[in-house]
Structure 1
Amino acid sequence: MESQEHRPLLRQDAGQQTEGRGTARRGTEAASQRSPSGEAEGDEGEDGESPLKKHARGFAAASLLFFTSLPAEASLLSDLGTGSIRFYQTFVSSQDGENCSMRPSCSQYGLEAIRRRGFFQGVLLTADRLARDNPWTKDRYPLVGNEGKYYLLDPVESHPWDPRKDKDLPSSLVAGGLSLLVPGGGQLYRGHAGDALSFLLLSGCFDLAGAYYLQRNNRNWGVGYLLLGGIFQAGSVYGALADASFEKPSLPPGKSSFELENLEKASASGNPLDRLRLGDALFLRKEYPAALEEYRELPADKDTRMAWCLIEMGNYREAAPLLAGYSGEVLALEKVSRKSEGKARTMSLFLPGSGQAYAGRWDSGFNAALLNLGLFGLTAYTVSQRDPIGLLLTLGFGSRFYSGNIENAVRFTRESNREAKEKQLQALRSKAMFEPLLP
C-alpha cells in the first residue's frame, strides 16, 4: 500500500522535471531567435564562421609556411639526416653498383636537400626524387655524361617552392590536395602519369605492408611501414605543390663546341695550320680517331701526334715506330700487369666481396661480405618466421646487392688496370708528349 501511494508522487515529480527542461529549451531557442546578428547562436562570429574553423585554417596556413620556410641552419635533425645518408652511401649504396639514373644521385640529392632546405623540406624533396627516379618520365630532364654513360640532370635548385612566390597558387593547392587524397593524384593532375604511378606504388605497398604487420600484432614493423608510406605521400604532396615552380635545368652550349665548329670550317680551306689546330682540339676532347684522321693529312710534324692518338686508342705496336726514341717504352705498355675481370667476377660470384679484395679494394670487399651475409641471415629468419612480405623484401634487396657485388668487382678490377696503365702513361707523357696548339 505504501509503495502504491508514493508512485503518483514520483510521476508528478518526473513530469515537473520534464516540463522544466522543456521550458528551459524553449527559452534558449527563443533567445537565439531574438539575436539579430547571430552572436547568440553559440560559436559563430560576425562573419558567420566559427572561431574554431578560423583557428584551424590559420594553423594549417602557419604550418605550411613553417615547414616550407624553415632555415637550413645546422640542427640536430639535419645532422642526423645527413649522417644517416653518409652511412648509407659508405656502407650500402656503394655495394649495389651504379643504379641511379639521375645526377646528382638520389642519396647525394637528399644530402644537398637537407643541407640547403633543412630537415623537413629535405626529407620531402628526397621522397619526391626517389619516386621520380622511374623509367616512365624521362623527357623532363636533360642528359649529361660522357664515355657512353648518360644521366638525367636534376639538381635540388630545380625544385624551389615558396607559397608566397607561387604565381599559380590555386592550381598548386588543388594538385597538393589531390595528392593528399590519393598518392600521385597531384602528379596525375599535372600531367605526369609515370610519377603518379610511382608514388601510388611506393606509398600503397608500404601501407599494405604496415596493415599486414599490424594485423599480425607486430606493431613496430607495422608502424614503421605506415610511416614510410606517409612520408612518400607527403613527398607526393610537396612535389605536386612545387611542380608549378619546376625549372628545367639547361645546358649552355660549350665554348669548345663553338670553337670546334669554327676550326672545322677553317680546316676545309686546306690550311695546314688550321688542320693542326683542329686535330689538337679533337685530341684534347679525347676524340682520338677523328684527331688521327686530321693528323694524317698534315704534310709534316705529325708523327708524334699520330703516335699519341694511337697510344690513347691502345694501338701500341703501330704507335711505337712513330714515337722516335721511345718505342721500347711504348711497347712496354702492353706488358703492364693486368688483373682478370673474369676472375674477379667468378670470385665474387661464389664469395661476395672477394672480387673487390682481388682488385685491391679491401674496404669495399669487407662491406660487401658483411652486407650479403647479413641479408642471407635475415632471409633465413623471415623463412623461419613465415613472413612472406619480409621474405620478398629480403630477397629483393639481397639479389640487388649480390648482383651489385659482382658488378663492383668487375668495375674495380677495370679501374685498377686503368690506374696501373695511367702511371706508365704519365711517365711517358713527361718525356715525349707534344705541346697541343690551342685555337
Structure 2
Amino acid sequence: MRSRLALAIHAVMERRFPERRLFLKSDYQTRFIRLRPGMQLGIWAGATLLVGWAIVATAILLMDSIGAGNFRAQAQRDRIIYEDRLNALSSERDMRAGEAVAAQERFSSALAQISAMQSEILALEDRRREAERGLDVVQETLLRVMNERDAALDTIEGLTDGEGAPVALAAGDDEMTGTVEILSDALARTAEERDTIAADADFALSHAAELELELRLMEDRNDEIFRQLEEAVLVSVEPLDDMFRAAGMNPDDMLSAVRQGYSGTGGPLTPLSFSTMNDEPETADTLRANGILSSLDRINLYRIAAERAPFAMPVQNAFRYTSPFGQRWGRMHEGVDLAAAIGTPVYSTADGVVTHAGWSSGYGRLIKIQHEFGIETRYGHLNAIRVQVGQRVSQGERIGDMGNSGRSTGPHLHYEVRVGGQAINPMIYIRAGQDVF
C-alpha cells in the first residue's frame, strides 16, 4: 500500500517537477547536479516561504510606519488642542483676575462711601438733637416772654396815676413785642432747619440701604469669580504636578531651585493687600486672591522648569521606535532608539549647555547636553553635529542630524537621559511631557 502511495505521489511530482540535470562545465571536466522532484519541490517551497515572509515583513513595516505617523500626527493635534485650551484658560484667568481686582476696587470704594455716609448720618443726627434742644429752649423763652407780656398788660390796665406811666409801659410793651417777633422768626428758622436735617437723614438711610444691597451683590459676584479662577487654576496645576512626579522629580524641590533664580518681587503676581493698616487681619477675599496668585506663580515656575527638563521629543519628523530602554542581547541598553532617514533633524529636549560634541567610541558622533536639576541628555550615532562645546542651547533648537555612525546597524538616533550620572528611561520624560503638552 505504501509503495503504491509513494509511486502515486512520485508520479504527480514527476508531472509537476520533472527530473532535471544542471551541468557545471570547467576547463578540465564537466559535472552535473541531478535535481530530483523532491528537491525541486523543496526549493520551490523555500522560495515561496521566503517571498511570503518578505511580503509580510514589508507590510508590517509599512503599517508600523503609517501607524507611527498617525500617532505622531494625533499627538501633535492633541498638543495643539491642549495649548489652545491652556491659552484660553490663561486668557480667562487674566480676565477674571482683572475683574477680581476691579471688583475689589469697587468694593473698597463702596466701603469708603458707606463709611462717609455713616459719618454724615451721625453728624446729621447730632445736629438734629442740638436743634431739638435749641427749639425747646426757644419755646421755653417764648412762653416766658409771653407770660411776662401778659403780666405787663395786666399791670398797665391797673395803673391810673399820671399820663407818663402808661406811655413808658407802652414803650416797654412795644419792645417786648419786637423781642417776641424775633424769637418767632428764630423758631421758624430752627423748625425749617430741623425738617431739612430730618429729610437729609432719611435720604442717607435709604441710600445706605441701596449701597448695602449693591455690596451684597458684589460679594456674590466676587465669590463666583474666585470660584471659577480657583477651578481653572486647579485644572492647570494638577497635570503639571503629575507630570513632574511621573518623571521621578520632587515638584517642591524643583520649584524651590527655580525660584532661587527668579527671586525678584513685584508685578501682577505679587500677593494682594487690601488694607493700609498693618494691624488689620486679612479678609477671606484677600486670602483667596493670594491663594490664586500663588497658584499662578506656581504655574509660571512650572513653565520655566519644563523648559529646563527634557520633556520634549528629540525628533519631530516621522520616526519608528526600534529599541526600548532595558536589557538587550544580554547587555543594558541605556537609552531608546528612534529610527528615521539619514539627515533627519535632531533637537535639544531642554535648555542646557553642550559639554561634548564629537566622536565617542560606540556612540559614533555624540552630543552631550547638561541641563538643570542634575540632568544630562545624550544624542548618539549622528551624521552631523551643529553645536560646539560650551554653547548654550534652548529647548527645540536643532543640534545635529540623524546618522549611522559608530556601532550601529542602520540610521537611527540613540537618545539617553541621565540623572546624577545614572541612566533613566527617557520614555518616562517623553510620556510625561506628551500627557501635558
TM bin (shorter chain): under 0.3
TM-score between both structures, scaled by the size of structure 1:
0.22
The structure with more helix, counted as a fraction of residues: 1
